[in-house]
Amino acid sequence: MISYAVTDPATGQRLTEYSAATDAEIADAIESAHRAYTGWGRTTELAERAGFARRAAQLFTEDKDELAQIIHREMGKPLEQSVAEVEFSADIITTFAERAEEWLADEPLTVADGLRTFVRTQPLGVILGIMPWNYPYYQVARFAIPNLILGNTVILKHAEQCPESSAVIARIFHEAGFPEDAFINLYASHEQISTIIADPRVQGVSLTGSERAGSIVGAQAGQHLKRCVLELGGSDPFLVLDTADVDFAVEQAVGMRLENTGQACNGTKRIIVMDKHYDEFAEKFTAAIREASYENGDFGPLSSEQATRRLTEQVEAAVREGAELVVGNNEPEGNVYTPGVLTGITPDMEVASQELFGPVAQLYRVSSDDEAIEIANGVPYGLGSIIICDDRERAERVGDQLECGMVFIGSAELEGPDVPFGGVKRSGFGREMGRLGMESFANKKIYRFAG
């Protein structure tokens, strides 16, 4: 039986438990969401729905300290980072509200016969969101808000360890003006997810999570011919090709590896450094990782005992294969895992193609752009990438050859509330955020007029 509960990963203390949804509640939720779509979703004006979103963003900002404390308890995110997540979520919601009219405007088409033709973006219906624990507010904001503004209705199945944050999101959305039946938070089981996807009133499903979960949900969506967006794992490369400021490159790489205690799908996991910079970079990077402090909030506990056990086993296996753990001891205290750096990794090692979901970096030395590209592409994932290179044309040429969905050049800090997000390969498909995210679950309806 699935269990929704808050267990503080720092202490292991089980704080609160929540009852799982019954089959009757699942059936009621689907019917209610469908009824809300055919009524509220089709009859309200875009400006009204966008206004509700603006109010939701205000409530996120007003309650940010309370909201930050909730996810700090649920999954161990350091408080400063928790507050930042709430603030970024509010920015995302505001951006969708402010840009909705522009992004959803009719798009005229130039056609050979000269007849008036345009594309009108309209909602599809009920959309299921299966959301992860690592960014409890951000993930829901970027999925749910564009759908609600569009006129879709949303059923949320959040991670089992995030029952408080999912409940408070629902409270905020309802207080902001979205009807209770337009956004429904369900503590559903995996079997009940299958029931929801199969229901003909449900038109799509968005999942952010593991490869395993993505393959199951993707197969179910395909079986029932449902629209699907999958944002899965990542082992993003950070390429240092040529720079006059190695200190900046180190600062960026450290920040991206320790962000959310290394538990970000698009966090830097493999750092690939050109030979001319490698010694200086490696010395400064390993020193900075060694100095990272749990007490100062540079990182927090891993999210669960299972996450800690998995990372520990992966690092242990890497060392057995011949990699060297030059920083860290691979000996967690509870779920507090000391950040580490692995070197000496070769392509035949299992760790070379794995995602390390925690504060352990892989460090590679290369002697050419081609070698850097080969290592960067040598994983089954293809989410994001970062290239540090003073020659932007060279960086762009390298970026063109990377098998990924996003390339950030010159800095790691290039995410934005209106910038699309998503990957290729086993990192999934589809896009969230920005205009592309608003169109993920839309009917792009073609209008044609006789002359």
Strands 117-123 and 442-448: antiparallel
Alpha-carbon distance of 348 to 405, in angstroms, equals: 25
pLDDT of residue 451: 87
First to last CA, the chain: 62
CB 188 within 8 A of CB 20: yes
DSSP state for residue 19 in the 8-state scheme: P
Statement: the pTM of the whole predicted model exceeds 0.85: yes
pLDDT in single tens digits along all 451 residues of the chain: 678 999 999 989 999 999 999 999 999 999 999 999 999 999 999 999 999 999 999 999 999 999 999 999 999 999 999 999 999 999 999 999 999 999 999 999 999 999 999 999 999 999 999 999 999 999 999 999 999 999 999 999 999 999 999 999 999 999 999 999 999 999 999 999 999 999 999 999 999 999 999 999 999 999 999 999 999 999 999 999 999 999 999 999 999 999 999 999 999 999 999 999 999 999 999 999 999 999 999 999 999 999 999 999 999 999 999 999 999 999 999 999 999 999 999 999 999 999 999 999 999 999 999 999 999 999 999 999 999 999 999 999 999 999 999 999 999 999 999 999 999 999 999 999 999 999 999 999 999 999 8
**For the sheet containing 107-108, what is the strand order?**
107-108, 117-123, 442-448
Interior angle at CA 53, CA 50 and CA 55, nearest 5 = 115
Alpha-carbon distance of 235 to 385, in angstroms, equals: 9
Annotated catalytic residue 265: yes
Paired tokens of 158: 């959040």
CA distances from 171 to 94, 129, 180, 325, 380 (A): 18, 17, 9, 46, 39
DSSP state for residue 259 in the 8-state scheme: G
CB 421 within 8 A of CB 100: no
Task: Report the DSSP beta bridge partners of residue 5.
Answer: 17
Task: Report the DSSP beta bridge partners of residue 288.
Answer: none
Chain position carrying tokens 């808050």: 6
Paired tokens of 350: 């299992």
Interior angle at CA 70, CA 69 and CA 73, nearest 5 = 85
pLDDT of residue 91: 98
pLDDT of residue 1: 61
Options 231, 259, 355, 432, the catalytic residue: 231
Alpha-carbon distance of 387 to 265, in angstroms, equals: 17
Task: Report the DSSP beta bridge partners of residue 123.
Answer: 442
Annotated catalytic residue 389: no
Chain position carrying tokens 């900075």: 288
Phi/psi of residue 269, each to 5°?
-120, -30
Options 162, 265, 389, 404, the catalytic residue: 265
pLDDT of residue 291: 98
